Each structure stands twice: as structure tokens, then as C-alpha cells.
Amino acid sequence: MSSGNEESWWTEQRNRRSQQCRNATCTCHIEGTLEPDLALALAKRNRVALRWTSIDELKAQYEFEDLQSFLDLYYALMKTLKTKDDFKDLMVAYLTRANADGVKHTEVFFDPQVHVCTNGLDFNTVLDGLLEGMAIGRERFGITGGLILSIVRDMDIDSANMILDLAQPRKNEILGIGLDSAEVGYPPDRFVDQFERARSFGWHCVAHAGEEGPAAYIRDALDLLHAERIDHGIHIQDDHELLERVVRDGVPLTCCPLSNLRLQVVHDMRKHPIPEFLHEGLMCTINSDDPAYFGGYAAANYAALADIGMSMEELAALAKNSVDASFASDSRKTQLTEELLAWRAQHGI
């Protein structure tokens, strides 16, 4: 095989593997889908002064040393979101990219504490815009899903309680509660009351744990917050007893490989524990986290795993896990599973 043909063959294989997210589900932070061009357009539309005035200047900020350096930029750009249409446009832009990657169901985190308590917006403005965007996505692309209201763990607890007060009249329009932002120093035990209240709303419970924080945060998220899924959870590799428990109980981990690499949680994708997690029997799923900041949406995350040698069968297992771990209805899960099986048969996997 000539070098040119060999390169073409590998490119074809990589692209084929990246499309393993066809008929899969995905989670992300909607504010983390705010691409630089849209951020600058919204800043101009809403007369928000940013420190950066060009695409190249803004893109240069997307090199992060850790979670906090990312969050500094993340919160600065969130200030450009002001109106219902802004949130609608943000959601439609994300779902358009998700559709191109073959995502069929998405469960989207949003951070109303920042929008309401820090940036002075009305809660209903945020929720209405996001829900309208999701309705457009369902109509255009057939993508199902829901919103997960995230508690921002490094903000004041009173602000979390206020947001839950605002959300209560519309609790049936929200899928669940999550826990995100800076992890170290903000353990799950601080948020027991908020998660208990969310369960009384009938919401699903998930929590970011074990990303930059220790494995003990994962255990507390399970025991104290009754989390049904653990977001990230990569430090479960430090506690084999906990890992065995999570395998036994079938608790899903929403892994985000490109995010882990960009935030220095792992320093080399070839050393990412996802292949070993899958071998151990963990229900790992592949997600895009904050794709505008971390270098790729769902397909790019699957492609990154293909690049470190994960097989089509392994990627297919991850895609099936994403369906099983979702909060979609049983009928929707059955439909997605059948579509995934048909895709596998078509490609001989």
C-alpha cells in the first residue's frame, strides 16, 4: 500500500469509527456549546463588551491549564446570553451539530444560577429559550431529550435554593438535577437538601464527581445525593472497591475523553482509562461535555478513542451503553437500540 493510499485508508477507518455515535445519546453543558463566532455575534447583538474582539483573539484563549482556567472563560462568555432568542439560538446551533454527528437523544445541562443570580436574567427567559430550541430540534432532526438543571457547586447555597423555588412551578418541564463547576472543596455532602428537594419534584439525579475531585466524592454522590449517573467519574480508578460496586450496581459514568485531555485530567489520550473501564464492566458512555471549548462534539470524542485503538465493537458497546444509561422512555430506548442494531448490521459490526 502506498503512503498516500495508506493515509486515505486510515482516514476512512477513523471517519467510520467516529460515526459509531450514530443512534447514540449524549450529554453536554449547553453553555459549553457557545462557539467563538456565536459568542462574538451575541456580544455585538446585546452590546456586551468582551475583552476579545476577533475570532482569532478569542480562540487563542482556549488553552487551559485546569478546570478553573476553563471556567474563567466559560463564565465570561456566558454574559453574552441575554434574551430568549439567544438561548433558543444556542440550543438550535448545538442540536444542528449533534444531528450531523448522528446523536438521536441528548440530555442537556444548564446553569440558571449564573444566568439569574450573576447575570440578572429572568429564569423563565432562560428556560423558555432552551425549551423552544429543543422543540425546534425535535421537529427538524427528530432529536429527543430534556434539560438537567445544574447546581453550581461553588456558588452560594442560598442561590441554589432560590433557583429551585423558581423552577418548582415548571418542574414538569425539567428532566433532572445535576451538580457541576469547580469540584475540589465543594463535596457532595453540601447539597443533600437540594437533591432531596429535586427528588420530590420527580427529577432524576446526576452529579459531577471524581473529575478533579477524589473517588470519595463519587461514593458520596451515590450515598448522599442518590445520583443515578456519575458525570466524569474518572478517579474511580483510584478505588477498586468502589469501582466493583459501581459495576455491580450498573451505575453509568458519562465519560468525556476530549474534555479530560484539554483540562489535564489525563495527559495522553493513549493512557485514558476508558478501555480499561469497559474491560472491567463499567457502563461507560461517551459525551462531549463543553465541546466548543474542548475540541469536539460527540463524533470527535468517538474518533479520539478510535485513534488510540478502540475497536468498532468496543465503540458500538459504548454507543449501546449511552442508550441504556439515558433517561429516555422505554419505548424510545427500544427504538434507538433497534436503529443501532440496524446500523451495525449495515456495516458488518
Active-site residue set: 211
Give the contacts of 74 (CB within 8 A, at least 6 positions apart).
31, 32, 290, 293
337 Cβ contact partners less than 8 Å away, ≥ 6 residues apart = 320, 323
Enter the C-alpha cell of residue 149.
438543571
Q: What count of other Cβ atoms lies within 10 Å of the Cβ of residue 349?
A: 15
Cα-based distances in Å from 132 to 59, 75, 128, 141: 29, 23, 6, 14
Q: With contact defined as beta carbons under 8 Å apart, do 167 and 119 qualify?
A: no
CA distance 145 to 106: 5
Our CA angle for 325, 333, 204, nearest 5°, is: 45
Rg (CA), the chain: 19
262 sits in which H/E element: helix 257-262
What is the per-residue DSSP string for 264-331? TSSS-GGG-SHHHHHHHT-EEEE--BSHHHHT--HHHHHHHHHHTT--HHHHHHHHHHHHHHS---HH
Which residue(s) pair with 148 in the sheet? 109, 176
Distance in angstroms (rounded) separating the CA atoms of residues 97 and 109: 16
